[in-house]
């Protein structure tokens, strides 16, 4: 995690006094489980450049966490990405400038606008470049977005979500840092702390004088404060208005972008359902159904129509929502919910426990597993489901996964769903943007069909379907392949 502060022009040397850090002295501290260092690479009256570097201890990141038994805690970017963690690490190093309290002799420089350039990264943001740019240009800055080169012989991703940002313009050092301390958590949408009164106070303090009039204020508040009561209090106390915060879609962000918390399509996406009949005086409002529910509904209807559905494997079952629904289908006797994350599996176990003893329920069995490891117990089941799973796997690894499924597990029916990349245009997403920050790829309808044909042609017949509201020329938001083992195929 790093940030560079650069000041140009007359008076640039005063930056060291505002930071209260002597360019000749070493700054090297341990802060909350991270080593924080500050060094001046240049310090003259015409140009000053300061580099801040934070190196977290990966063990400290998870020590004391209730999830410390889960190996997936180590499969993340928290050690490297500039996020709310970075802000907490460097607050003490920048506290004097952030609060505008240098020695008395330098107080007049607190309000002095410097020609500043601040660079930081990498930021692993689910926000598209256009929204990131608006966050900074609305404050009068110019923004430059850069992506690092990926040193792989294969195309891991055409455009990485990890970006380095540089914003520049005339601004006081204090205001630039205050704005940055608010916007970094907005970009990453990651919170390592409890969101409550302290966070509201931070928004009041650091957002004073600029946040009230920011055109993306609603987006900033929602991704920072999260909860409606805190947002309402800010609007009432600071902005003098009471009202709900607009959605990301109103701010120009697709509702189909899928961060962990508040933009996931299973939470925000919706499709109009047929309107119920009314008394004829007035059309009843059409209820909205989340896209994730439509996926489940499509999968369940497909399974219900099968002649043989005794045993089902749900790969990447997460918290067990789909697996639990499958357990209520007539004729289903066994559901294996396969999931690598212990945290998600614990939540699934709680969900499955509520089904115990209820008539007509086939209580799913949680299984720790991955598509990358062969498990003898997963062979020969009637149905295997990969619901929104394949796009989380590197494309070059899919051939191995499908070889295991087709030639080792050999289900009678394989159901696969994945996003339809063409539909991203309907959500007004940027060309290379993806719906989730963990998606390795997203395919057009033609690409999905070509991929299915590449492994299914000699063993499975494939029926393609769309899920969700259709848009002319773009199809439907989710595409589904129902692959049925050919009668002439030798299953074993």
Q: Classify each residue of 451-477 as buried b or exposed e, where b means 16 or more C-beta atoms within 10 Å of its C-beta.
A: bbeebbeebbebeeebbbbeeeebbbb
- Lowest mean pLDDT across 189-193, 246-250, 439-443: 246-250
Answer whether residue 269 shows pLDDT above 50: no
Instruction: Select 2-193's CATH number: 1.10.1200.10, 3.30.365.10, 3.40.50.300, 3.30.1610.20.
Output: 3.30.1610.20
- Global pTM reads 0.53
Task: Point out which residues pair with 292 in neighbouring strands.
Answer: none
pLDDT at 79: 61
Average pLDDT taken over every residue of the chain: 82
What pLDDT is stored for residue 152 in this prediction?
A: 55
Q: Where are the domains of the chain?
A: 2-193, 290-485
The distance of Cα 404 from the centroid of its chain, to the nearest Å, equals 29
**Lowest mean per-residue pLDDT among 16-20, 258-262, 449-453:** 258-262
pLDDT of residue 163: 80
- Token pair for 380: 């020969």
Supply 71's token pair.
């190996």
Percentage of residues in the chain with pLDDT exceeding 70? 79
Which superfamily does 290-485 belong to?
A: Vaccinia Virus protein VP39 (3.40.50.150)
Residue 482: pLDDT above 70? Answer: yes
The neighbouring-strand residues paired with 7 are: 48, 116
| Mean pLDDT on 438-465 | 92
Lowest mean pLDDT among 88-92, 185-189, 258-262, 356-360: 258-262
pLDDT one-digit tens code per residue, 368-381: 998 988 999 999 99
Written in H, E and C, the secondary structure of 167-205 is EEEEECHHHHHHHHHHHHHHHHCCCCCCCCHHHHHHHHH
Q: Which of 30, 37, 31 is nearest to 4 (CA)?
A: 37
pLDDT tens per residue, range 208-243: 889 988 999 888 888 888 777 788 887 877 645 434
pLDDT number for residue 304: 97
Output the pLDDT for position 198: 76
User: Are 425 and 442 spatial neighbours (Cβ–Cβ below 8 Å)?
Assistant: no
Whether residue 264 has pLDDT greater than 60:
no
85 or 411, higher pLDDT = 411
The CA distance from 190 to 4, in Å, is 22
- What is the token pair recorded at 136? 């900074």
* CA–CA gap between residue 88 and residue 439 (Å, rounded): 29
What 3-state class would DSSP assign to 237?
helix
Is the Cα dihedral 93, 94, 96, 102 positive or negative? positive
User: 423 and 475 in contact (C-beta within 8 Å)?
Assistant: yes
Mean pLDDT (whole number) for 10-30: 90
Confidence category of residue 194, pLDDT binned at 50, 70, 90: low
Whether pLDDT at 403 is above 90: yes
Using 50, 70 and 90 to split pLDDT, how confident is the model at 80? Answer: low
Between CA 492 and CA 485 the distance in angstroms is: 12
Q: Please write the tens of the pLDDT for every residue from 121-131.
A: 788 777 878 88
pLDDT band at 153 (very low <50, low <70, confident <90, very high): low
**Secondary structure string (H, E, C) spanning 422-459:** HHHHCCCCCCCCCCECCCCCCECHHHHHHHHHHHHCCC
Dihedral class, residue 181 (left if φ above 0, else alpha if ψ from -120 to 50, else beta): alpha
Alpha helices in 287-364 (DSSP H): 291-304, 321-326, 342-353
Cα separation, 459 vs 411, in Å, equals 11
Which of the two residues, 409 and 263, has the higher pLDDT score? Answer: 409
Q: 69 pLDDT exceeds 70?
A: no
CA distance 398 to 95: 48
Tokens 């079952």 correspond to 317
Residue 138 above 80 pLDDT? yes
Mean pLDDT of 395-416: 94
What stretch of H or E contains 341? none
- Given a cut of 90, is residue 90 above it in pLDDT? no
pLDDT of residue 255: 31
| Torsion angle of C-alpha atoms 356, 359, 360, 364, degrees rounded to 10 | 0
Backbone phi, psi, residue 390, to 5°: -65, -30
CA 154 to chain centre: 24
On whether the CB atoms of residues 313 and 384 are closer than 8 A, the answer is yes
Determine the pLDDT at residue 287. 53
Report pLDDT for 65.
58
Give the sign of the dihedral formed by CA 388, CA 77, CA 169, CA 18: positive
User: What does the pLDDT average to over 308-323?
Assistant: 95
Instruction: Say if residue 28's pLDDT is above 80.
Output: yes
Q: Which helix (H) or strand (E) holds 62?
A: helix 58-62
């Amino acid at each position: 995690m790093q940030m560079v502060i650069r000041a140009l022009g007359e008076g640039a040397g005063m930056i060291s006094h505002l930071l209260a850090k002597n360019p000749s002295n070493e700054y090297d501290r341990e802060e909350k489980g991270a080593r924080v260092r500050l060094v001046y690479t240049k310090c003259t009256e015409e140009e000053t450049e300061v580099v801040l570097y934070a190196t977290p201890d990966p063990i400290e990141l998870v020590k004391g966490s209730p999830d410390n038994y889960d190996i997936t805690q180590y499969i993340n970017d928290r050690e490297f990405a500039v996020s709310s963690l970075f802000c907490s690490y460097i607050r003490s190093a920048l506290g004097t400038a952030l609060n505008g309290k240098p020695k008395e002799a330098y107080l007049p420089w607190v309000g002095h606008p410097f020609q500043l350039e601040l660079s930081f990264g990498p930021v692993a943001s689910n926000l598209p470049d256009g929204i990131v740019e608006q966050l900074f240009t609305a404050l009068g800055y110019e923004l430059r977005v850069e992506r690092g080169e990926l040193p792989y012989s294969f195309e891991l991703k055409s455009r990485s979500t990890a970006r380095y940002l540089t914003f520049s313009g005339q601004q006081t050092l204090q205001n630039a840092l205050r704005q940055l301390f608010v916007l970094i958590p907005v970009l990453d949408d990651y919170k390592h702390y409890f969101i409550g009164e302290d966070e509201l106070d931070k928004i009041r303090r650091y957002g004073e004088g600029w946040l009230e009039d920011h055109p993306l204020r609603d987006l900033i508040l929602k991704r920072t404060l999260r909860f409606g009561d805190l947002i309402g209090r800010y609007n009432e106390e600071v902005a003098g208005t009471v009202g709900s915060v607009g959605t990301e879609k109103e701010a120009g962000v697709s509702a189909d972008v899928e961060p962990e918390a508040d933009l996931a399509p299973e939470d925000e996406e919706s499709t109009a359902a047929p309107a119920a009949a009314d008394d004829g005086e007035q059309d009843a409002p059409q209820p909205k159904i989340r896209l994730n529910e439509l996926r489940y509904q499509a999968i369940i209807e497909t399974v219900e129509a099968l002649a043989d559905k005794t045993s089902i494997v749900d790969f990447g079952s997460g918290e067990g929502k789909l697996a639990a629904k499958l357990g209520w289908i007539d004729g289903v006797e066994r559901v294996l919910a396969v999931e690598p994350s212990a945290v998600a599996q614990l939540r699934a176990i709680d969900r499955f426990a509520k089904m115990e003893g209820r008539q007509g329920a086939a209580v799913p069995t949680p299984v720790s597993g991955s598509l990358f490891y062969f498990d003898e117990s997963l062979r020969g089941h009637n149905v295997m489901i990969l619901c929104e799973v394949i796009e989380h796997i590197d494309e070059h690894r899919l051939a191995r996964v499908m070889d295991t499924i087709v030639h080792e597990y050999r289900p009678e029916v394989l159901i696969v769903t994945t996003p339809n990349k063409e539909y991203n245009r309907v959500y007004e997403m940027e060309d290379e943007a993806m719906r989730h920050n963990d998606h390795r790829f997203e395919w057009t309808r033609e690409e999905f069909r070509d991929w299915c044909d590449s492994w299914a042609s000699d063993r499975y017949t494939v029926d393609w379907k769309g899920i969700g509201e259709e848009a002319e020329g773009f199809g439907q938001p989710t595409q589904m392949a129902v692959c049925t083992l050919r009668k002439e195929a030798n299953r074993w």
